[in-house]
Amino acid sequence: MFFGNLKPYYCDDSVALYLSDTFDALGRMSTEAVDMIFADPPYFLSNDGITCSSGKAVSVNKGDWDKIESLEEKHAFNRRWIGLCRRVLKQNATLWISGTLHNIYSVGWALEQEGFKIINNITWQKINPPPNLACRCFTHSTETILWAQKSDKNAKHFFDYERMKAVNGGKQMKDVWTGTLTPLTEKQFGKHPTQKPVYLLERIISASTREGEIVLDPFCGSSTTGVACKRLGRRYIGIDRNHEYLQLSVRRLKNECTHELFPDGLQPSDRP
């Protein structure tokens, strides 16, 4: 329906996964087809450095998909996929993009160049980041999540203000969110190197969509976005070019069932 003759890798009543290059799939997709996009694009930080995982020094390299030759190539990549996302978003739909300092500034500039208006700049603070082995700078403990809409005067994005206020103890929710890294319980079916915790996607999706609406993830990886959609009663489309990651996605999605919104993960400091 959405991609012409491109057949899904896996589907059920609320989910469709596609094994495809992101650019090809987005280019095939129907115009103004989805209500929200969450994208966790490559951060391009695979630079042969080291980081800490489970108390051990390990390589930061994640794969060829996380490498880029130049700043110009990186920005062209971001402009291209963001431009394609704009076409498939409905007029009042919104786009969320996560990233670190390695890529998020290019993403922000590309959003404005491709006709988006940034609504919020969310800072996600991780309470248990890996330690800084080099000891030559402050420990990296945050990621930025940009929330944007089409820069069209007639576009009116949806924001469930009352729901966000309710889960924040009756107070307005701020743009700094504090929580843990992805727990091991969410990696029981396999690991993805940049897997996000479910609580983070539950908050994003419930804040900016209604039940039954369609959420697209163009770099879906292990489909944390899809897991959150299953729990919240949204429909989900995931795209990834890696067969192994889609196998992991299928295992997670088949295991999923509805449960209470916002499991433990966000800390009391996130509810000022």
The one-digit pLDDT tens for each residue of the chain (272 residues) are 578 789 999 999 999 999 999 999 999 999 999 999 999 999 886 454 444 444 444 444 445 645 667 899 999 999 999 999 999 999 999 999 999 999 999 999 999 999 999 999 999 999 999 888 889 999 999 999 999 999 998 999 999 999 999 999 999 999 999 999 999 999 999 989 999 999 999 999 999 999 999 999 999 999 999 999 999 999 999 999 999 999 999 999 999 864 444 443 443 333 33
The domain spanning residue 117 has which CATH number?
3.40.50.150
> Could you identify the residue written with the tokens 């300092």?
101
pLDDT value of position 1: 55
Q: What angle do CA 269, 143, 94 make, to 5 degrees?
A: 95
Domain-embedded: residue 108: yes
pLDDT value of position 61: 45
Instruction: Please state the length of the chain.
Output: 272
Domain-embedded: residue 136: yes
Domain-embedded: residue 2: no
Q: Name the domain count of the chain.
A: 1
- What residue numbers bound the domain in which 241 lies? 10-270
Contacts of 208 (CB under 8 A, 6+ apart): 36, 94, 96, 147, 157, 158, 159, 160
Domain-embedded: residue 3: no
pLDDT value of position 63: 55
Domain-embedded: residue 162: yes
pLDDT value of position 168: 97
Burial 31-45 (b: 16+ CB within 10 A, else e): eebbbbbbbbbbbbb
pLDDT value of position 68: 67
Strand partners, 142: 125
pLDDT value of position 134: 84
pLDDT value of position 45: 66
Amino acid sitting at position 30: S
Domain-embedded: residue 82: yes
pLDDT value of position 77: 96
CA distances from residue 179 to 70, 169, 212 in whole angstroms, order as listed: 33, 16, 27
The SS3 call for residue 5 is: coil
The SS3 call for residue 19 is: strand
Domain-embedded: residue 5: no
Quote helix, strand, coil % in the chain, to nearest 5: 30, 25, 45
> Could you identify the residue written with the tokens 């108390």?
55
Round to whole Å and give the CA distance between 268 and 92: 33
Domain-embedded: residue 1: no
Backbone angles phi, psi at 119, to 5 degrees: -85, -50
pLDDT value of position 175: 98
> Could you identify the residue written with the tokens 């030559």?
136
Q: Are 147 and 155 in contact (CB under 8 A)?
A: no
Predicted TM-score (pTM) of the model is: 0.87
pLDDT value of position 195: 96
Q: How far is CA 108 from the centre of its chain?
A: 15
